[in-house]
Structure 1
Amino acid sequence: MQNFFAKKLRELLILSFACAAFTVQADEWQAERYPWDMRPFFCSYKKNVETELCKADNWPSYEVTRERLRSLRWTGRFALLERALTELATSEELLPNGFNKATAVHWTLEELVQDHRRAAIIGGDPLALWKSVVPQSKFLLLTDAMLLHRRAWELRGGAASTVLPESGELFALRLGDAEKKLMQAPPSLKDTAVWHLILLKIAIEGRGVESDPQTVFLNAVKRWPKSADFYMEMISYLSPVRGGSWAAVEAFIDHSSRQLESTEGMSFYARLYASIGNEVTRGQTAMDWVKMRRGFDDWIARDSRASVKNLYASYACFARDKSTFGKAIGQILKQELLPGQWLAGHSYEACARWAGI
């Protein structure tokens, strides 16, 4: 009988040690990988994550980031999507194009909202599925606010001058609901750039909201001063289409650029005008070419991507500055020529003929 109990005790001890060893191994093993992660298997051990061979850059550019988020969304990997959006929303890093990573989060949420609205056509509702997989997702609160914002525009209809008083009241009411929904967010979500970006988009609508767009903007850039997203929203707010003027846009871009001049030179002047390139080519803005030229020089000194160099050359052609055009073209290697990055109506071939190159 003693041998029997001794044997059982040994078996229990062996089993407990095995369970402990499994727990240790599980603790050392990372969570499920993203589907594009092709690193060796041993990179899944937490102890190896920071080694040179195992370092991963899941979000190397805006384009790749959006495509990877789109793949997670479209294939219904909502647990992984939640993790990805959390990584991006809480990151302080900017993407190479100057956008905050929150921009990619916002666009993904926009696409989810669009898919939700056409659920009957595509055969399923991604937001409902997401909620079933991650019921406590904080991002679903953001999609709720975005849906209310869209609903406001549906109720409003056309341009302000054509809107009936009743529609205007419903528009303001739904905007107020969208703002209230955002204000229900937990502190951790309010501390993200994407929350500020969505609030700014709602605040600039004006009617029915308590948030002042200027205050929302200043709070955002105080925390994320180099995030181009917030500046671009304010440019839209100050533009003629919303009752502003190109003079106001110029004053804003000039002031914002000088606020960052100590670290960014005047690069933001070029970055922000480049974001409204079509308006520039139509000759409708108050852009100052001397400042724009300096802005591009400072931009390229900090970001030598081929896309930026091509933009510089096309703007120099638009400004009919042959000297600067020649300088800009001289920085572009043959394999770096990107026709799609040139301003509309200003191709490399046409500009080269004009400049006699």
Structure 2
Amino acid sequence: MKIFSIALLGWMASSAGAQVTTYTPTEITQIVTTSFQNDDFATLDKMAIQFRTTKSRSSSGSWNLAIFYSNFRNAMYEGGKQNSDEQWQRIEEKISRWVATTPNSATAPIFLAWAQLRHGWSYRNNGVDNTVTEEGFNKFLHYVSMSENILKKHKRVSSVDPEWYVMMLSLAKHRKMNDREYGLLYEEALKVEPGYHDTYKAVAETVSPMWSGNIAQLSALASDAVRRTSAVEGNALYARIFWSVSDRYSGVWYHILSTGGWPLMKSGFEDMIKQYPDDWNKNAYARFACKAGDVDLFLKLTRQFSGNPDVEAWPGNSFQQCRDYAARMRPTTPI
């Protein structure tokens, strides 16, 4: 998608001064899970409004609103991932009650749209298109259409929330939205909230080589995101965007290395850690430094960890592999 051929809106607002809330991601997980299980929709609405209006961040700089929605996507399974029609119908009926009884909820239609999309994925599964049955693909597209219709029906109420645009931008790659329409949707999303990281990440997914795009478009997106957010975050969005996609698509990381993109990635992490010197960010930065062969930086960052390496930041056995690599390259500098 050549979305950047359209003149995009400039920086319209700032998330400067965004506070770090006292909520931890673990606490958000617990509240979202318990509230959804107990049909406590009022608590979910109240939390979403708080995160949306305060633009609060976690200690790593992630938007608490994004953490909230991410945790809902896990909570809605209610302990099971069997992907049966009965399971999804139960979930959709539950959220539909919330939509019906709280017509001013911006959050409920977004939750319902996500549940419908995941119901569709239960038919499509995660294989490439030529491995999906015709029946499975048609059912998937049916649920994509249902999800989009719910969002459009409730746009007046729900589009105050940047996650509404994240959902719409994510759905676009499944229904082949044309470039102009997609570009206008992107502009509209950034007019509502130009600093929301997940808007850029949703577009990054769409313009990645895995879907309809290519590396050049992904790089253009990262540059545009930095241009729009640099007054607040420096080059951090460059690192956050490539961090979000490179672990899933190995070709993206090879492109960064082969085209000299590591200094930009490095600059992004430096700006990120200046604002948010959280161990999660330092672990991620150290892992990418290792992948880039920047051994001295890897060693420097590991000495800045407040404790042991965060295992969730190091897929597989990657920390030990990096440690072994550093030991070979710098035998007189132990970790």
Distance 2:234 2:184 in 1: 25
Distance 1:346 1:265 in 2: 28
Q: Give the length in aligned residue pairs.
A: 299
Q: 1:268–1:147: structure 2 CA closer, same or farther, 3 Å change rule?
A: closer
**Taking structure 1 as the reference length, what is the TM-score of the superposition?**
0.68
Deviations 1:265-308 (A, max 9, x none): 21222222222342476775422111122222111111111121
Between 1:175-184 and 1:225-234, the stretch displaced more is 175-184
- Partner amino acid for 2:35? L
Q: How does 1:236-275 map to 2 (within 5 A)?
A: 236-275=205-244
Contact 1:269 1:292 in 2 (8 A): yes
Between 1:315-324 and 1:141-150, the stretch displaced more is 141-150
**Taking structure 2 as the reference length, what is the TM-score of the superposition?**
0.72
**Partner of 1:46 in structure 2?**
none
CA shift for structure 1 position 174: 4.1
Q: 1:66 aligns with which of 29, 38, 42?
A: 29
Q: 1:338 aligns with which of 286, 310, 328?
A: 310
Q: 2:283 aligns with which of 288, 310, 316?
A: 310
Distance 2:164 2:76 in 1: 16
Distance 1:153 1:184 in 2: 22
- Partner amino acid for 2:313? Q
Distance 2:149 2:140 in 1: 14
Q: How does 1:150-161 map to 2 (within 5 A)?
A: 150-153=118-121, 159-161=128-130
Contact 2:209 2:215 in 1 (8 A): yes
**Partner of 2:14 in structure 1?**
none
Percent identity between the two aligned chains? 19
Q: 1:300–1:281: structure 2 CA closer, same or farther, 3 Å change rule?
A: farther
Between 1:302-311 and 1:95-104, the stretch displaced more is 95-104
Is 1:353 aligned to residue 322 of structure 2?
A: no
Q: 1:179 aligns with which of 124, 134, 148?
A: 148
Is 1:97 aligned to residue 60 of structure 2?
A: yes
**Partner of 2:6 in structure 1?**
none
Which has the higher relative contact order, 1 or 2, with Cα contacts under 8 A spaced 6 or more apart? 2
Q: 1:227–1:172: structure 2 CA closer, same or farther, 3 Å change rule?
A: same
Distance 1:331 1:69 in 2: 32
Q: 1:94–1:75: structure 2 CA closer, same or farther, 3 Å change rule?
A: same
**Partner of 1:42 in structure 2?**
none
**Partner of 2:9 in structure 1?**
none
Distance 2:138 2:180 in 1: 18
CA shift for structure 1 position 264: 1.7
- Partner amino acid for 2:268? G
Contact 1:90 1:192 in 2 (8 A): no
Contact 1:78 1:133 in 2 (8 A): no
- Partner amino acid for 1:65? I
**Partner of 2:97 in structure 1?**
131
Gaps of 5+ in 1: 1-56
Distance 2:47 2:62 in 1: 17
**Partner of 2:8 in structure 1?**
none
Distance 1:136 1:256 in 2: 35
